[in-house]
Amino acid sequence: MPSTDAPSSLSGSALGSGSGSGFASASVPRHLARGGVGFGALIGAFALLPVFGPAALLLAPVGLVALRGCPMCWAIGLAETVSRGRLRRECTDGRCELRTAGSGPGPK
């Protein structure tokens, strides 16, 4: 039977908690490098197919591992990596708000 406590999906979101996400990288350059390797390997797998035959398809799993599953996963990770440290979720009295890291509770 599910618990009646607060939903766990709110506590571990990548939009403000320090727990991290499965898609984000340590830095933007590192994430872009992973994208270059991943997309390069996927493109190479199909572009080199006429030259090397089915053996060229061995590059496809390398590309998928570098992208951590799929091109959309990489794009989500890029957004998370760029926004890391800029967005913070604040929950008080059962009401959660998404704020920028520098904004305070009142007007500046």
Per-residue pLDDT tens for 16-40? 444 455 778 888 899 999 999 999 9
What is the residue-wise DSSP string for 62-78?
Answer: HHHHHTTTSHHHHHHHH
Q: How confident is the model at residue 103 (pLDDT cuts 50, 70, 90)?
A: low
For the whole model, what pTM was predicted?
0.62
- The DSSP letter of residue 53 is G
Picking from 102, 97, 105, 88, the residue whose alpha carbon sits closest to that of residue 16 is 88
Q: Which residues contact 13 (CB under 8 A, 6 or more apart)?
A: 89
d(CA 19, CA 40): 30
Q: What is the CA radius of gyration of the chain?
A: 20
